[in-house]
Amino acid sequence: MRWPALLLGLLVCASAGGEGVRPGLLITPDNYRQYLADLRRLLSPGAFRVVEEGLRRGYIKMPIVETKRYPQYRPFYEATLAHRGRARVGPDNQLLGWVSGLPFPQPRRGVELAWNLDRRVTVSDNYFFEGDFYLYNGPGRPERRYRWWYWVYRANGRVWPPPVPLDPINRGRPWREQIRWRSQFVMVSPFDVRGFAVIRTRYEGVDRWDDLFSYIPAIRRIRRMTGADVCDPMLGTDTIYDDFELFSQKITARMTFRMHRKRMLVPIYYCETPPAFDPKTGYRQHVWNLREGWVMEIFPNDPEYLYSKRVVYLEAQRLNGSGYYLDTYDQRGRLYRQQVYLNRYLDDELHTPSSFGARYTNLMSGHFTHIVMEYPGLRVGRHREVRISAADFNFRWLLRHAR
């Protein structure tokens, strides 16, 4: 009578050790229930809910492939090695002494890991992509489709393309007044949102708030956006400005952080062509890797802010600061929103990173938005330089390109 209990105990222990999910395994809608305990442990709580629903409805399968050590993005990696040991964190969470690259290749505190996330590399230091927003009122229930154009320009800590490491716009500025980056987007379709545009400027000082302006075509006026606006869903989507690329909230003096290591299951690719997106269901058919990562909890400590806590799941094997999952909690401590951020690396001369999609899910309502990203001209074998400067971030320039 003891043998069945012993065998059951061994099976439970094997599952607890993560041996059930391994390279070569294919998780399908028919067998996924036997791997639910492993998936719950290896995914974020929010990502588990999204993945489990896709399996249950038969929208996806989960092939587990061999984990690889992808090459480092060469300019960023070289800058990290050249300047390591120079960065430090001041008493007000201010980043000091940083030049370029990843500030803390071996983070020892949560605030150091937070600055790694803030300084992460996405494509190059000036990039452009076109994106489609697919809105869903639940899986398999498409609603609308928007299209936008999006630009980003980093003005300090630059590694590629020139000027390196500082844009002339920052010369002579004290550190806290330096521009870290500028971003802008314009909606190009459908007709009722065409021309809506936003320009955002991030400064280095933790006490220097972003400049954030929007152009509203219906009234032909420019409006300054407040801190509350960066938490509002954008044009009916599930995307908020402070959740762009997992984390666009400004690090402030009142924030606190916690971190720990975790083995996690993530979609990541070393390829030119990402997996196809199914606009009917709102899902992609990914391949999955087991990777060592960081889990970072970010506490804004602001009762007026939308979230009481962010939990970000970050890459640990590559020195680029990139992340995979974001779970957010409302002020009552309830799991509220979830984001899966989709990363790939190109086999070009610089081993360029890029993202090709993101899914934002409101876990309370079931509504979600999937963004499909395209980088015109970014192909294997040649790195495309987006010709844009910090001076090009204005509404006249933006609307001229949108017409």
At 130-187, the pLDDT tens digits run: 999 999 999 999 999 999 999 999 999 999 999 999 999 999 999 999 999 999 999 9
Please say whether the beta carbons of 307 and 330 come within 8 A.
Answer: yes
Residue 384: pLDDT over 90: no
- Name 276's bridge partners: none
Q: What is the pTM of this model?
A: 0.92
Residue 15: pLDDT over 50: no
pLDDT band at 378 (very low <50, low <70, confident <90, very high): low
Print burial letters for 374-388: b (CB count within 10 Å at least 16), e (below 16).
ebeebeeeebbebeb
State residue 16's pLDDT score.
Answer: 40
DSSP-derived secondary structure for 338-370: EEEEEEEE--STT--EEEEEEEEEETTT--EEE
State residue 351's pLDDT score.
Answer: 85
Residue 1: pLDDT over 70: no
State residue 353's pLDDT score.
Answer: 86
Q: How far apart are CA 298 and CA 48, in angstroms?
A: 20
Q: How far apart are CA 114 and CA 251, in angstroms?
A: 8
Q: Which of 6-10, 268-272, 340-344 has the lowest mean pLDDT?
A: 6-10
Q: Which of 130-139, 310-319, 388-397 has the lowest mean pLDDT?
A: 388-397
State residue 17's pLDDT score.
Answer: 42
State residue 358's pLDDT score.
Answer: 96
State residue 341's pLDDT score.
Answer: 95
Residue 389: pLDDT over 50: yes
Burial class (CB in 10 A: 0-12, 13-18, 19+), 245: middle
pLDDT band at 377 (very low <50, low <70, confident <90, very high): low
State residue 403's pLDDT score.
Answer: 67
Residue 388: pLDDT over 90: no
